[in-house]
């Protein structure tokens, strides 16, 4: 790709994920952050880290859907709350349909006209119109799918998934689920039936899950403990080997025999899977998946999808550490 550059706009930059995206895009060798839209922060200077960031001179703007489309960016990332993306997509479709759009909300995760962008499990070539309209998976949905995919053909009953996330997953708008005072020394259950990510996983894996999410007092990082019912007996060693083989070509998913910890994944761009506990009959397994909900669960995954849309190696611009 040499020195080729593409302009990227970000809409909805007030939240935690927006801040992570700004930081990643500021240091990307081929993407230039051309505008940042946030109604609440309009007029403020965009403060970034790194050598390129100090030279950007960007300020937050409050841009309408039509104004975003008029910028004719090569790509636009929508980091808006659920239910707000459609107007921006319609405006971009009307005036610059070749602009790549990555939507981080749930608005298009059930739309067959959009590519569902979980890169490690991507189906199809990624060419054509579908690759220009990309729906970023949910954070919990990413962890659950990564935990189930390697043994999907062996699952014979709905999988039970117990999830715990840091309160950054509840966004920045005040609520009980991101109130540190209410969460102190607490574990808060919510949306225990028919959670959005439960339906999302069922649609994209073709396998039913029963998901029970909780919020904990830590800020970032989530864990999913998945209870799996298998067609045939196996061993923990065989399961671990199967997962290692399945993700061997995917450096942002790392497999360990031990159970992964949230404290080890916070601030990291990869997911970790491990545990592999087996019942006595070898037909019930428990697997644990962890990831940073703001990174691999959102911003990092969006950057993976942008890289793929522009024909770049999937890890371009993503800081990675060697596996421990």
- Going from the C-alpha of 58 to that of each of 37, 149, 234, 314, the distances in angstroms are 10, 41, 55, 27
Average pLDDT value over all residues in the chain: 92
Task: Read off the pLDDT of residues 9-43 as tens digits, 9 standing for 90 and up.
Answer: 999 987 899 999 999 999 999 999 999 999 888 88
Catalytically annotated residues: 139
The values of phi and psi at residue 60, to 5°, are -65, 140
- Token pair, residue 72, equals 């004719």
**pLDDT at residue 57 in the model:** 80
Q: Which domains does the chain have, with CATH numbers?
A: 6-136+297-309 (3.40.50.720), 139-293 (3.30.360.10)
Going through the chain in order, the beta strands assigned E by DSSP cover: 6-11, 31-37, 60-61, 75-78, 100-103, 115-116, 133-135, 159-165, 188-189, 209-215, 222-229, 253-255, 271-278, 284-291
- Token pair, residue 75, equals 């790509």
Residue 117, SS3 per DSSP = coil
Task: Read off the pLDDT of residues 202-218 as tens digits, 9 standing for 90 and up.
Answer: 999 999 999 999 999 99
Task: Read off the pLDDT of residues 54-110 as tens digits, 9 standing for 90 and up.
Answer: 556 889 999 999 999 999 999 999 999 999 999 999 999 999 999 999 999 999 999
């Amino acid at each position: 790709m040499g020195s080729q550059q593409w302009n990227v706009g970000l809409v909805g930059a007030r939240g935690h994920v927006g801040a992570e995206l700004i930081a990643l895009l500021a240091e990307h060798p081929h993407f230039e952050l051309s505008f940042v839209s946030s109604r609440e922060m309009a007029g403020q200077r965009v403060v970034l880290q790194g050598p390129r960031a100090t030279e950007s001179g960007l300020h937050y703007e409050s841009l309408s859907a039509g104004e975003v489309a008029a910028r004719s960016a090569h790509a636009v990332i929508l980091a808006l709350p659920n239910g707000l993306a459609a107007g921006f997509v319609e405006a971009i479709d009307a005036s610059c349909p070749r602009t790549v759009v990555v939507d981080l909300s749930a608005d298009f995760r059930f739309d067959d006209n959009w590519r569902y962008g979980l890169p490690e499990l991507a189906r199809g070539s990624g060419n054509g119109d579908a690759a220009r309209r990309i729906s970023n998976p949910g954070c919990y949905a990413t962890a659950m799918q990564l935990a189930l995919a390697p043994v999907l053909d062996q699952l014979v009953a709905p999988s039970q998934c117990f999830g715990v996330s840091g309160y950054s997953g509840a966004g920045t708008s005040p609520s009980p689920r991101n109130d540190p005072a209410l969460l102190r020394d607490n574990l808060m259950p919510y949306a225990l039936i028919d959670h959005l990510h439960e339906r999302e996983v069922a649609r994209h894996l073709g396998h039913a899950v029963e998901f029970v999410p909780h919020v904990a007092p830590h800020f970032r990082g989530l864990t999913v403990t998945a209870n799996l019912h298998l067609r045939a007996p196996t061993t923990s060693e065989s399961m671990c080997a199967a997962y290692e083989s399945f993700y061997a070509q995917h450096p942002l998913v790392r497999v360990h025999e031990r159970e992964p910890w949230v404290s080890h994944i916070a601030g990291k761009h990869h997911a970790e899977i491990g545990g592999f506990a087996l019942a006595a009959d070898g037909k019930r397994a428990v697997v644990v998946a962890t990831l940073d909900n703001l990174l691999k669960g959102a911003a990092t995954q969006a950057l993976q999808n942008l890289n793929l849309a522009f024909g770049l190696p999937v890890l371009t611009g993503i800081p990675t550490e060697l596996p421990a």
